[in-house]
Each structure stands twice: as structure tokens, then as C-alpha cells.
Amino acid sequence: MIKLHCKLFPASLVIIAMLTGCGGGGGGTATATSPAAASDTPAQTPTSNFSYNKIFGEYSAQQWDAVSLAKIVDSGSSLTAEYIQDTTVSLTESGQSYTISAAGQSNGNITLDYNWTVNTDGTDAMVALYDPTGFQVSNSYQQSLSGAKLNVSTYDATWLASQGLEYVSGTAAQVTYTGSDPVHTLPIIYGEFTESGDVKTSANQDFTLLPDMLFQYWDNDRATSTTLVARGSGTINVNYESNSVTGTVVLDRFYNYADLFDGNTSYALVGGIPTVTIMLVNGTLTEEQITASLDTTVVVTSNGTLSGEGYLKGALFGPEGDELGATLFLLQDNEDTHGYFYWDTIGTVLGQ
């Protein structure tokens, strides 16, 4: 079982490299990028007997398959955080809007129940987000709700195409309450799951990963926190004969959060953060669904050991399962002896 830790969190927490969120108790309206224009006609590859809609299309009423987990900072007095592994989420695209709902309950009986509409018609303020080379990766939209600040972004269709991804994308949901501490965060992967009859039954397949994570740590004064965008690489291997899933996610490039989300077209690496190599443990493939526990131990000789554990939840997408998407979180565990008071990371990986 994954241990769900309760730790101190500041009110200003915000999400993921390239993905900031939307949503908030009881609903709200937000915006996301509009996919590049495409035909409603489903795409089909010659090797698959099933048809799948590409993520780039603009659809009249397309209900996408989706997976998500959640991080809940709920109490304005105790500043405790909990994680929900079994979040139920739905996402329907209709013209220039997305209807998204998400629900779940933490081990501490904190209930998550979101229902909001994401508009892509330019209603809200928009900031284009870039990688360090100046290539646009996504757009972040901002909106004020009653007593809260809302951010939402989703991957740019041109960037997805440049990475060879056609059937899976990601967005995220987050609301930060004004004058209080609660912050609710949901990384979401969506697209069309691979049909069970289209999943391979033999051999192995390696998926090259694109991690987008938020990495946050607190100094020993328990009051000073640093929020970073974490990027890197990785590989997930799926063994279709044994239905086992193995792999690693490597976070080795860290950037200042504000630099990225201010829309800067270039920004520098942040030094001094140890490379975090996350191992998938006891990973399984059930039809098209992927789950795994996560574990990391990084010995930093000058400052102890960075040690953590977490959870990954994802799926295969598109013809013959040739694309992959997953959400994950990793928390400092009891074996950690690093100088940070506390640290965690949460976000998404895409792969093909």
C-alpha cells in the first residue's frame, strides 16, 4: 500500500511543468487551448481493426477516456495534504468547450467533487508557455472564481504532433483559494483508450517518456518553500505476455516556476537539485489500464538521502496501444535523511 503522508503546504502551491489546473469545490468556468483543426472522421491504421479519434480534432460531442489522481490541500488551519489514487474523471469536448467532472475521497475522508466547463474561445486571459528553447508547448488560462484563483492549461497540438503523439494528451486542474490555504490539484490524461481486443498479447514494448512535473521542497525552517518545474526522460516497458510493467522516470532538469508561467521564452536551469530517478514497482497491465507503485532513493553524499514512494496510474491509447499516458505522484518517505524538511512531486508522463 502507498503511504499517504500529511505534511505542511503553503497556500501558493501550483501545478506541473507545462500543465496548470482548473476546477474547484462546486464548479466554475475555465478555458483551455483549442486543438488544431481536424476532421471528425476517426483515424485508422492499417494494422488495427479498430478506429480511434485523434486528439487534434474539434468535435461536437466527443467523450474522451480519462485518468486522473488528486492532491488535496484542504484545511486552512492545519495545512495538511492528502492524495487520492482512485479519482473518477470524465472529459467531454464540444466545439470550443470541455465539460470535466471529477470525484473521489481521500483516506482522511476529504471528498473531491468537481464539475466545471472549460472554454477555448478566448474568454479568459491567456499566457503562452514555452520550453527553454522558445518552442511553445502549451497555453495557460487564468480566471477568477468566487473566493479563488483558477489556472488551466493543456498541451499545444503542434507540440504534441512534434513529439509523435496523436491519440493522448494531458491537462490539469487546480484552484487556489483567496486568503486561505486550500489548494486542489488534478493532473489529467485523456484521449481514446486502446480497445481490449486491440492490445498486443505477445512481446515487449518500450515507451519513451516525456515527464512534466511540479517539484516542491521546504527548508528546515518549515516556512520557506521553493516551487520548480521538473522535466527529464524515462522509459516504460510493457510485457504483453506477463502483463507486467517496469521502467523509470528521471527528473534531471529543474526550472523556476515563475519564469515558465510568466510566459518567458527562455530561462535557465536551477542548480543544486539532485537527479531523481523514480522506479516503477509491481507494475501491471490490466486490459489497457496501467498501475504501479513508485520508489526512489537518491544518495546525496553532502546532504543525506533523498527517498520517496508514490503511485502511477495510466493507460494505453490509440491503435494497438502504441501511445501511453499516466499521472503520478511521489512523496518523501520515512527513510529520507535529506536536508529538506519535506518534498514531493506530482504530474504526468506521455510516451510513445
**φ and ψ at 184, to 5 degrees?**
-115, 130
Distance CA 52, CA 92 (A): 15
Q: What single DSSP character describes residue 23?
A: -
180 within some domain: yes
Q: From 327, 329, 318, select the one nearest 350 (Cα to Cα).
A: 327
15 within some domain: no
Where in the sequence is the domain holding 211, given as residue range(s)? 29-351
**What is the model's pLDDT at position 27?**
34
Question: Which residue type occupies 290?
Answer: I
Query: How many domains does the chain fold into?
Result: 1
Q: What is the CATH number of the domain that holds 182?
A: 2.40.160.90
Along the 352 residues of the chain, how does pLDDT read in single tens digits? Answer: 333 333 322 322 233 333 333 333 333 333 333 333 333 444 444 467 899 999 988 899 999 999 999 888 765 444 457 888 889 999 999 888 888 898 998 877 878 888 888 777 877 778 889 999 999 999 887 777 788 777 777 899 899 999 999 999 998 887 777 776 677 888 999 999 999 999 999 999 999 999 999 898 888 777 777 889 999 999 999 999 999 999 999 999 999 988 988 899 989 999 988 999 999 999 999 999 999 999 999 998 888 999 999 999 999 999 999 999 999 999 999 999 998 888 889 999 999 9
**What is the model's pLDDT at position 80?**
59
> DSSP assignment of 87-139, as one string?
-EEEEEEETTEEEEEEEEE-TT--EEEEEEEEE-SS-SEEEEEE-TTS-EEEE
133 within some domain: yes
21 within some domain: no
**What is the model's pLDDT at position 74?**
62
**What is the model's pLDDT at position 308?**
94
Q: What single DSSP character describes residue 197?
A: G
208 within some domain: yes
**What is the model's pLDDT at position 226?**
86
> Structure pTM?
0.84
Question: Do the beta carbons of residue 288 and residue 162 sit within 8 Å?
Answer: no
13 within some domain: no
148 within some domain: yes
Q: Please tell me whether residue 307 adopts helix, strand or coil conformation.
A: strand
C-alpha cell at 109: 475522508
41 within some domain: yes
Question: Do the beta carbons of residue 151 and residue 22 sit within 8 Å?
Answer: yes
Distance CA 134, CA 82 (A): 35
Question: Do the beta carbons of residue 352 and residue 163 sit within 8 Å?
Answer: yes
Q: What single DSSP character describes residue 52?
A: B
**What is the model's pLDDT at position 75?**
55
